Amino acid sequence: MILGTGGTIAGTAASADEAVGYQAAQLGVERLVAAVPPLAGLALECEQVAQLNSKDMTHAVWQRLAQRCAHHLARDDVAGVVVTHGTDTLEETAYFLHRVLAPAKPLVLTAAMRPATSMQADGPQNLLDAVTVARHGAALGWRGVMAVLAATVHAAVDVRKVHGWRLDAFDSGDAGPVGAVVAGALQRLRDVPTCAPVGLGAIARDVGQWPRVEVVASHAGASGRVVDALVADGVDGLVVAATGFGDVHAEVLAALERARARGVAVAIATRCAYGPVIDAATRAVDARTPWQMRIDLLLERLRAG
C-alpha cells in the first residue's frame, strides 16, 4: 500500500536543472509509482492521504495518516505500507506514527531531496527501496516505522534530517542506521526499536482540542520572556531545546519554574545534533530530539485527557 502526502518527491520545476526553485506536492502518488518501472506488475495500491509541502504539516494530516496507516496495516492482504512524504518534517511524522501505532508490519516513509522533474531525481530509487523494505523487511525482523532514503534504512526513533540540500541528507544520530538497500538487496545491521503504542484512541479527539506544546530554545542572550508569553497565551507544554547535555540559561530556567507553577508541563531536550541529555544525578540519558519530545508531551497530555 502506497500512501501519498506530497513533498519534494511529488514536486515539479520548470526545468530539469532546477533543484531549488520548484513547487513541492504537485504529482499524485499514482504518478510517482508509474515513474518507477520495476514497480510495474507488483500488487500495489495507492491512496492520496494529503498533498502538501511537509514544512506545513498539521496535526489534522497526522491524525488522518495514522488512521489510514492503521486501516491498511490491519488488512491480511497488505504486507506493509509506504508513505511518500516531504523531507522537512519526515522525522516528526515517523516518530508520531511510531508512538501512536508501533505496527507489527513495516511502515516505511520515504522522500526525495530533488523534485520529480530533476536530472538528479532521487525519488524513484527511494520509492523502489522503500517498497522493497515494506515487502521484505519483516523477513529480517524489521517491523514498525522506518524511513528509507539514499539506500539507507533508519528507525523512526533515530532518523533525522541533517543536511538542507545534499542527496544523502538523513542520518540516525549516534545509533546509526538499521540497515541498507544495496542494489535491491536488504542488508540488516540491527533491529528496529519498538515501543508500547498509545493507540488511535488517544488521538481521536478533534485536533482543534489537542493540547498546545511548543518548543523554545536556550541560547546566548535568552530572557525567558518567550516562555512567559507562551504561558500567558495558554500553552499546555513546553520543550526546551537546551545546550549541551541539557543545560538551560538561568533566565529561561526561572521562567520555566514560573511555567511549572502554573501547571505547564516542561521537558528538556538538547539542541545538539548528537549526544543525549544526561541527568547529572542519576546519569540517565535521553536521546530524544526536541521534536520527538514535543510529540511525546503532546501524546501524554492527550492521554491525560
26 contacts ligand ASP (rule: CB under 6 A): no
Give me Rg for the CA atoms of the chain: 20
**Residue 57 beta carbon to ligand ASP: minimum distance, rounded to whole angstroms:** 8
Pick from 3, 4, 8, 91 the residue near ligand ASP by CB under 6 A: 8
Q: What 3-state DSSP class applies to 117?
A: coil
Query: Considering CB under 6 A, how many residues would be counted as binding ligand ASP?
Result: 11
Pick from 1, 2, 3, 24 the residue near ligand ASP by CB under 6 A: 24
172 contacts ligand ASP (rule: CB under 6 A): no
- CA angle at residue 43 from 104 to 200, to 5 degrees? 30
111 contacts ligand ASP (rule: CB under 6 A): yes
**Residue 19 beta carbon to ligand ASP: minimum distance, rounded to whole angstroms:** 10
What CA–CA distance (Å, rounded) separates 89 from 66?
15
What CA–CA distance (Å, rounded) separates 176 from 186?
16
**Residue 7 beta carbon to ligand ASP: minimum distance, rounded to whole angstroms:** 4
152 contacts ligand ASP (rule: CB under 6 A): no
- CA 127 to centroid of chain Cα atoms: 17
What CA–CA distance (Å, rounded) separates 46 from 272?
38
User: In this structure, what C-alpha cell is assigned to residue 300?
Assistant: 501524554
**Residue 53 beta carbon to ligand ASP: minimum distance, rounded to whole angstroms:** 4
> Is the dihedral angle over the CA atoms 183, 187, 189, 190 positive or is it negative?
positive
**Residue 87 beta carbon to ligand ASP: minimum distance, rounded to whole angstroms:** 3
Report the 10 Å Cβ neighbour count for 253.
18
Residues in region 50-109 near ligand ASP by CB under 6 A: 53-55, 86-88
152 is catalytic: no
Pick from 2, 4, 7, 79 the residue near ligand ASP by CB under 6 A: 7
The span of 47-55, 71-79, 171-179, 239-247 binding ligand ASP (CB under 6 A) equals 47-55
The span of 49-57, 199-207, 215-223, 234-242 binding ligand ASP (CB under 6 A) equals 49-57
For every residue of 36-70, DSSP letters joined together read -GGGTTS---EEEEEEE-GGG--HHHHHHHHHHHH
Q: Which of 8, 89, 93, 117 is catalytic?
A: 8
What CA–CA distance (Å, rounded) separates 50 from 247?
39
Binding site for ligand ASP (CB under 6 A): 7-8, 24, 53-55, 86-88, 111, 113
Which residues are tagged catalytic?
Answer: 8
